[in-house]
A and B are shown apart, each in its own frame.
Chain A
Amino acid sequence: MQTLHNIPIHLYLILSSVLFAIGVFGVLLRRNAIIIFMCIELMLNAVNLLLVAFAAFLGDTQGQVFVFFIMAVAAAEVAVGLALLTMIYRNTGSVDIETLNKLKN
């Protein structure tokens, strides 16, 4: 396959960095816990993209296997996290992270 050799690896590095920074920006900017979860997914995907890019450039299949495991962990994380969020919503009536300060005092 010679499709990828037109694209230098630096472009993938920059693309992944920007995607990751957008994810961090969203986590810092938003107060809705579900949107924060989505931004965490965005960050995971940025890292996944970089792993696949390096796996393709180095000709190594093991990088793609790592992406598999990251996807599995992300799926489990989303299931548990959304269950926690529904429980928080049932008990407090919102998923605003500013209301979750009962342990403060």
Chain B
Amino acid sequence: MTIYLFYFLSFLALLSALMVVVSKNPVHSVLYLIITFFAIAGHYVLLNAQFLAAVHVIVYAGAIMVLFLYVIMMMNFNKESEPSKTAFSQILATVAGGILLVTLTGALRVSDIEIPAGSTEAGSGLVGALGKVLFSKFLLPFEISSLLFLAAMTGVILLGKKNSNNI
């Protein structure tokens, strides 16, 4: 039963990821990317990481994609103004992506990863278990990430100011 759910979610994620790349309209790309993120959140639920799935939906589908949509809305794209590469470059891009895919899957296929499955206990993906690890072992990186956000916020305000046009 779960394997069919896995295949369905994988198919949805891969199809919409491909549509992100090939669709001409940037707004359609954003909407397909949201579908991909929901499929990946479904994978997280299958992998017993429920809290991470919720955070993924909130952060990616809720915050980041809204930011993308705002920027696209302000820039007023349409299908005609969408630049595209030459046919030769597109063929080269396809070949390069295909070679990367073949290399990755080939390397993973010959590597025999033996993982003793069955060691997860229920509730290890909930907020209690994660918070214990986050606030004990990863306390310093957690605080440093707040510094990262402060720096990002300051940088965004500095870049977004009206009179910063002397690049």
Contact = CB atoms under 8 A, between A and B. Distances in A.
Interface residues of A, number: 76
B108 to A, nearest CB: 5
Interface string B46-67: 1111001001100110011001
Contacts, number: 231
Nearest to B23: A35
A79 B134 contact: no
Contacts of B44: 49, 52
Contacts of B115: 9, 54, 57-58
Interface of A: 1-7, 9-11, 13-15, 17-26, 28-32, 34-35, 37-39, 41-42, 45, 48-49, 52-59, 61-62, 64-65, 67-69, 71-80, 82-87, 89-91, 94-96, 98
The 8 closest A-B pairs by CB, nearest first: A25-B97, A59-B119, A28-B93, A26-B21, A21-B101, A76-B152, A17-B104, A83-B159
